[in-house]
Amino acid sequence: MTDSHLPPHIEGLLSPDAYSHDVDAVELRQTHISYLLFAGDFVYKVKKPLDLGFLDFSTLDKRHHFCVEELRLNRRLCQRTYLDVVNIVAADGTYRADAEGDVVDYAVKMRRLPDGGMMTPMLERGGVDAAQMRDLGRRIAAFHGESERGPEIDALSGLETVATNWRENFEQTESNIGRTVTRAQFDETKRYVDATLEREAALFEQRVRDGKARDCHGDLRADAVCFEPDGVCIFDCIEFNERFRFSDVAADIAFLAMDMEARGRQELSDELMATYLGATLDSTLPLLMPFYKCYRAYVRGKVDGFQLDQPEIGDEQKAAVTEGAKRSFELAHAYARQITPPTLIITVGVTGSGKSYLANGLAARVGAAVFSSDIVRKRLLDIEPTERHVEEIDSGVYSAASTEQTYGALLDEARPWLERGQAVVLDASYLLASHREAARRVANDADVRFVVLDCQADEALVKQRLEERAAKAGVVSDGRWEIYQVQQQRREPLDDVPAAARVEIDAAQPLREQIDRAVAALGA
């Protein structure tokens, strides 16, 4: 049976005879901009002849151009899956794919990915774990580090483009007020966006100057991830609008973090972000996470809403996308209302106690800057962060003088952000009362709260972590067993920290539980 709303060539491609390879049956799936034909071991993706302003597939030449772009761009993250751009032809009253004849359209031909590895159904059956999210975080971090950058990308990644994208969002969703988004959600989200763009203008532009603008994926969500035995395949990036793909890397990773939270999987978002930040060492990215998660949730609601006016979308699907759009706008509104009080947060704990992982995950969750003593120490000495230094205790990089300089520089990093009313997490051992007291004085001078996260881990867990760390490349920390033993002897009790400012963290607990405990103490 065919659908009278479908174009003739799409109806024709529903026949197994339209393909030169073995096909038992053809399954058609649709997005708001594409038809996907699942035929045997392959998938053929055909672009709908739409002009939505932000994308233009209205002519055959344009659809061919963007098919070629889709192939090129997606091979960056999923090379073995994207095979070719093929003709769709009309011949003798029938339509065929990848054949000779009168070309009526084009398709991107892809290897069919294994259903069992697709992230969305895996999430629905509870099949995605922390280890997989860590793999995914490392893969995305590596991709962002390798992605193209340059003047054109910088020009489309700064404050002006971010503001333009938001204006477009509000213009294109105003007609949905009362249908998928409430007036209060629309107005309050807009006020939040306008205030953030004004308050953080310098940060947006500084990140572009710091090389954080890249040719990204642009649509990084669970639906675009497949876990395969030989690695993670991330597919379906945005090819149709450079303004959506050229962005701060924060906007890219925020989409997947938001998607996990929209699905009720905060623990997976935490694991993703803690790993990603540990790999990228991006201290200011967390400051923009609530903003970009709000953006991604809002765009998700907008895109769902586009389907409501397409005649080929049935009533049942329209009801589903309406509910999906409502949930997305509700989530965007929740991010817009997220408030983290200006706070100086320090970690206390020996090497291997999980301080850095907690610091990164917490910073991403609450929107705080995060600075690491390991990174600051090596930067002061003009050493690459991942360059290993195994030296005698209290010598070389880890001399007493270097340590004092490092702790002073950490506070210098924190001051400007605290003065701007931001939260800051300082990831360091802070085993000495003198270092904690210096941090407390900075908090007092900035008139912000002071919170100490006391990271506790038993010896067996620390030993296991240090052994695992020693076997990995690209690790920032030089911590090892001998250092742990010396730190245990030298650490000073937390008698100097008032009980109200101290939060005990059990490093054996899952990361989400650790962060939840810290967030509760912050009142975020």
As given in the structure block, the two tokens for residue 408 are 């002073």
**Residue 16 is part of a domain; what is its CATH number?**
3.30.200
Residue where a domain stops, chosen among 307, 336, 365 = 336
Residues of the chain with pLDDT under 70: 1-4, 312, 524
pLDDT at 467: 82
Q: Is 474 left (phi over 0), alpha (psi -120 to 50) or beta?
A: left
Q: Write the DSSP assignment of 321-364 as a string of letters.
A: HHHHHHHHHHHHHHHHT-----EEEEEE--TTSSHHHHHHHHHH
Please check whether residue 275 lies inside any domain of the structure: yes
Burial class of 89 by CB neighbour count within 10 A (0 to 12, 13 to 18, 19+): buried
pLDDT at 393: 78
Does 309 share its domain with 408?
Answer: no
pLDDT at 1: 40
Which stretches of 480-524 are assigned E, i.e. beta strand?
A: 502-506
Q: Write the DSSP assignment of 5-50 as a string of letters.
A: TS-HHHHHTTSGGGSSS--S-EEEEE-SSEEEEEETTEEEEEE---
pLDDT at 140: 98
pLDDT at 485: 84
- 201: domain range? 117-336
pLDDT at 4: 53
Whole-number Cα distances in Å, 113 to 25, 37, 40, 174 = 17, 13, 11, 38
Does 142 share its domain with 155?
Answer: yes
**Residue 478 is part of a domain; what is its CATH number?**
3.40.50.300
Q: What pTM does this model have?
A: 0.93
Report the candidate in 65, 2, 4, 58 with the shortest Cα–Cα distance to residue 28. Answer: 2
Does 356 share its domain with 398?
Answer: yes
Please check whether residue 1 lies inside any domain of the structure: no
Does 423 share its domain with 297?
Answer: no
Neighbouring residues of 95: CB distance < 8 A, sequence distance ≥ 6: 8, 9, 11, 12, 13, 18, 88, 89, 104
Does 455 share its domain with 419?
Answer: yes
Please check whether residue 3 lies inside any domain of the structure: no
As given in the structure block, the two tokens for residue 347 are 């970690």
**Residue 124 is part of a domain; what is its CATH number?**
3.90.1200.10
Tally of domains in the chain: 3
Does 275 share its domain with 140?
Answer: yes
Does 369 share its domain with 383?
Answer: yes
Q: Looking at this protein, which amino acid is placed at residue 315?
A: D
Does 59 share its domain with 138?
Answer: no
Report the candidate in 219, 224, 294 with the shortest Cα–Cα distance to residue 261. Answer: 294
pLDDT at 468: 82
Please check whether residue 227 lies inside any domain of the structure: yes
Please check whether residue 71 lies inside any domain of the structure: yes
Please check whether residue 470 lies inside any domain of the structure: yes
Strands 231-234, 369-372: pairing is unpaired
Neighbouring residues of 129: CB distance < 8 A, sequence distance ≥ 6: none
β-bridge partners, 370: 425
Residue where a domain stops, chosen among 317, 336, 355 = 336
Does 104 share its domain with 245?
Answer: no
Distance CA 517, CA 524 (A): 11
Alpha helices in 307-453 (DSSP H): 315-336, 355-366, 373-380, 400-419, 433-446
Please check whether residue 169 lies inside any domain of the structure: yes
Does 350 share its domain with 491?
Answer: yes
Phi, psi of 48 (to 5 degrees): -75, 145
Does 362 share its domain with 469?
Answer: yes
Return the C-alpha torsion angle 277, 280, 281, 286, nearest 10.
-40
Does 35 share its domain with 122?
Answer: no
State the Cα angle at 461 between 459 and 466, rounded to 5°.
95
pLDDT at 408: 98
As given in the structure block, the two tokens for residue 211 are 């090389």
**Helix or strand (DSSP H, E) at 111:** strand 102-111
Please check whether residue 84 lies inside any domain of the structure: yes
Residue where a domain stops, chosen among 67, 94, 112 = 112
